[in-house]
Amino acid sequence: MKRHPGGKMAKFWLQYGGFILPALAGYQFYLFYLAYSAGDWLYVAVHLFAGLVALAVGVWIIKLRWFGKGRGRCIICQKVYNEGREMTCSDECHEELVRRMVAQFGEFKKVVRQSTGVAYRVPIRDIIEPGVREQELDRYPLWED
Ligand SMILES: [Zn+2]
């Protein structure tokens, strides 16, 4: 699953941009109005432009934040979520995912270590999330056919 752009800034703007930018746009439109009243055409253009840009970005962030484009969609309940895991929105849905995977594929999966060709017996639960790295495979029992 695709992660949305990380970083504290991106998170901050995703969280608060939907409030800050429309407010900023409103302020720019107010300055636009003042400049218009004063007949100051340079500032009319500047504030109109700034207002429209802030509004456009604000609307875009609101769409991301509340309407789910680019965010994760829970593969169990289909809910769009912002915080959470890679595939599911909550612990409950994660448990449900694990249950379904175990029902379909069994409790363990054969995982072959790329570098050595040795197969390990890894619980499905560990594979789903957070995932198993190659160097961690040693802690699992060997796969016996
Ligand atoms: Zn869910």
Handedness of CA 29, 30, 32, 36 (dihedral sign): positive
Q: Are 99 and 118 contained in the same domain?
A: no
How many Å apart are CA 51 and CA 21, to the nearest integer? 9
Give yes or no: residues 19 and 61 share one domain: yes
Is 30 part of any domain?
A: yes
Question: What letter represents residue 90's amino acid?
Answer: S
Residues 119 and 136 in one domain: yes
Helix, strand, coil % in the chain, rounded to nearest 5: 60, 10, 30
* Half-sphere CA count of 71, side-chain side, radius 13 A: 25
Q: Is residue 2 part of a domain?
A: no
89 alpha carbon – ligand 1 mean position (Å): 4
Within a domain: 89: yes
In a domain, 93, yes or no: yes
Domain around 97: 70-105
Q: What does the pLDDT look like over 22-31, one tens digit per residue?
A: 999 999 999 9
- State residue 40 phi and psi, 5-degree precision: -95, 90
Q: Is 34 helix (H, G, I), strand (E, B) or coil?
A: helix
pLDDT attached to residue 41: 93
pLDDT in tens, 44-79: 999 999 999 999 999 988 877 776 544 677 888 988
Residue 98 lies in a domain: yes
Do 100 and 113 reside in the same domain of the chain? Answer: no
Would 3 be classed as within a structural domain?
Answer: no
Residue 92 has pLDDT above 70, yes or no: yes
> Measured in angstroms, how far is the CA atom of residue 60 from the centroid of ligand 1?
24
CA of 1 to the centre of ligand 1 (A): 15
Residue 1 has pLDDT above 60, yes or no: no
Express as a percent the part of the chain with pLDDT over 70: 87
| Boundary-marking domain end, from 66, 93, 115 | 66
CA of 74 to the centre of ligand 1 (A): 5
Same domain for 57 and 97: no
Residue 113 lies in a domain: yes
Question: How many CB atoms are closer than 10 A to CB 144?
Answer: 7
Q: What is the pTM of this model?
A: 0.46
Q: Please tell me the distance between residue 135's alpha carbon and the centre of ligand 1 in angstroms.
A: 31
State how many domains the chain has. Answer: 3
For helices 41-67 and 8-38, angle between their N-to-C axes, nearest 10 degrees: 150
Q: What pLDDT is stored for residue 145 in this prediction?
A: 78
| 2 pLDDT above the threshold of 50 | no
- Give pLDDT, residue 84: 61
Q: Are residues 21 and 43 in the same domain?
A: yes
> CB under 8 Å to 11, separation ≥6 — which residues?
none
Residues 15 and 61 in one domain: yes
The pLDDT assigned to 29 comes to 96
